[in-house]
Chain A
Amino acid sequence: MNYLLPALIFVPFLAGFLCLVADRVRPTYPRYIALLGMVVTFVLTLICVPLAKDGFFLDFSVPWISPLGANFHLAMDGLSLLMVALTAFLGVIAVGCSWGEIHHRVGFFHLNLLWSLGGVIGVFLALDLFLFFFFWEMMLIPIYFLIALWGHNSPKKTKGYAATKFFMYTQAGGLVMLIGILALYIIHYSQTGVLSFEYHDLLSAHLGAWEYPIMLLFFIGFAVKLPIMPFHSWLPDAHAQAPTAGSVDLAGILIKTAAYGLLRFVLPLFPNASHDFAPIAITLGIVGLIYGAFAAFSQTDIKRLLAYTSISHMGFVVLAIYAGNILTLQGLMVQMLAHGLSSAALFVMAGQIYERLHTRDLYLMGGMWCSTRFAPLLMFFCAALLGLPATGNFIGEILIVMGAFGQHPIATIIATASFVAAGLYALILIHRALFGDTTKVCAKMRELNGREMALLAVLVVGLLWLGLYPNTVLQLSDYAMHSIELAYGGNV
Chain B
Amino acid sequence: MNAVIFSPLLPVWVLGIGALVLMLAIALGRNHKKSAFIAMGTLNIALITLLLQNTGVLPRSDFGVGLFSFDGFFVLNAGVVLLCALGASTLSLCYFARLHGQKDELYLLLLLATMGAVLMAGATHLASFFMALELLSVPMYGMVAYEYIRQKSLEAGIKYLVLSAAASATLLMGMAWIFAQFGVLDFASIGTQIGTTQDLPILAMAGGAMILMAIGFKLSLVPFHTWTADVYQGAPLPIAAFLGSASKVAMMALATRALVVMGLPAFDGIYDALFAMVLVSAILGNLLALFSDNLKRMLGYASIAQMAYAIMAVLAIGRMADGVVSAYMAIYALSSLGAFGVMALMSSAADQSTHAREAVCLSDYQGLFWHRPVLTVVMTVMLLSMAGIPLTAGFISKILVAYASVQGKAWWLLGALIIGSVLGVVYYLRTMLIMFKRPVCAPFDAPNDWARRLGGMMVLLCALIVLVLGVFPSGLVYFTGLAHIG
* CB contact under 8 A between A171 and B425, given known A137-B390, A149-B436, A179-B414: yes
Q: Contacting B389 at CB < 8 Å: which of A67, A137, A163, A172?
A: A137
> Contact flags (1/0) for A127-152 with B, using CB distance below 8 Å?
00000001101101100110011000
Of B98-106, B155-163, B334-342, B474-482, the stretch lying at the interface with chain A is B474-482
In the bound complex, residues from chain B placing their C-beta under 8 Å from that of A148 are: 429, 433
Q: Are B406 and A186 in contact (CB under 8 A)?
A: yes
**Complex Cα–Cα for A138 and B390 (A):** 5
Q: Are B425 and A108 in contact (CB under 8 A)?
A: no
**Complex Cα–Cα for A182 and B146 (A):** 47
Q: Are B433 and A160 in contact (CB under 8 A)?
A: yes
The listed residue with most A CB atoms (<10 A of its CB), out of B369, B407, B419, B472, is B407
Q: Does A445 contact B (CB under 8 A)?
A: no
Q: Are A149 and B437 in contact (CB under 8 A)?
A: yes
Q: Does A458 contact B (CB under 8 A)?
A: no
- Tell me the B383-428 residues at the A interface (CB within 8 Å): 384, 389-391, 395-396, 399, 402-403, 406-407, 414, 417-419, 421-422, 425-426
**Complex Cα–Cα for A306 and B83 (A):** 54
Q: Does A414 contact B (CB under 8 A)?
A: no
**Complex Cα–Cα for A290 and B426 (A):** 32
> Contact flags (1/0) for B416-453 with A, using CB distance below 8 Å?
01110110011001100100110000000000000000
**Complex Cα–Cα for A164 and B474 (A):** 32
In the bound complex, residues from chain B placing their C-beta under 8 Å from that of A46 are: none
In the bound complex, residues from chain A placing their C-beta under 8 Å from that of B429 are: 144, 148, 163-164, 167
Q: Does B191 contact A (CB under 8 A)?
A: no
Q: Does A51 contact B (CB under 8 A)?
A: no
- CB nearest neighbor in B for A159: B433
Q: Does A473 contact B (CB under 8 A)?
A: no
In the bound complex, residues from chain B placing their C-beta under 8 Å from that of A468 are: none
In the bound complex, residues from chain A placing their C-beta under 8 Å from that of B419 are: 172
Q: Does B473 contact A (CB under 8 A)?
A: yes
- CB nearest neighbor in B for A63: B474
Contact size class for B? 20 to 34
Give chain A nearest CB distance to B417 CB in angstroms.
Answer: 7
Give chain B nearest CB distance to A391 CB in angstroms.
Answer: 37
Q: Are A175 and B417 in contact (CB under 8 A)?
A: yes
In the bound complex, residues from chain B placing their C-beta under 8 Å from that of A176 are: 418
**Complex Cα–Cα for A39 and B406 (A):** 43
* CB contact under 8 A between A186 and B474, given known A141-B389, A164-B426, A171-B421: no
In the bound complex, residues from chain B placing their C-beta under 8 Å from that of A363 are: none
In the bound complex, residues from chain B placing their C-beta under 8 Å from that of A67 are: 474, 477-478, 481
Question: Measuring CB to CB, which residues of chain A are less than 8 angstroms from any residue of chain B?
Answer: 64-68, 108, 134-135, 137-138, 140-141, 144-145, 148-149, 160, 163-164, 167-168, 171-172, 175-176, 178-179, 182-183, 186
Extra contacts, 15 of them, besides A141-B389, A164-B430, A175-B417 (Cβ < 8 A), are A65-B474, A65-B477, A67-B474, A108-B369, A108-B436, A138-B391, A163-B429, A168-B426, A171-B422, A172-B418, A172-B419, A175-B421, A178-B402, A179-B418, A186-B406
Question: Measuring CB to CB, which residues of chain B are less than 8 angstroms from any residue of chain A?
Answer: 369, 384, 389-391, 395-396, 399, 402-403, 406-407, 414, 417-419, 421-422, 425-426, 429-430, 433, 436-437, 472-474, 477-478, 481
Across chains A and B, which 10 residue pairs bring their CB atoms closest together, nearest first?
Answer: A67-B477, A138-B390, A182-B406, A175-B418, A172-B422, A137-B390, A134-B390, A65-B473, A168-B422, A65-B474
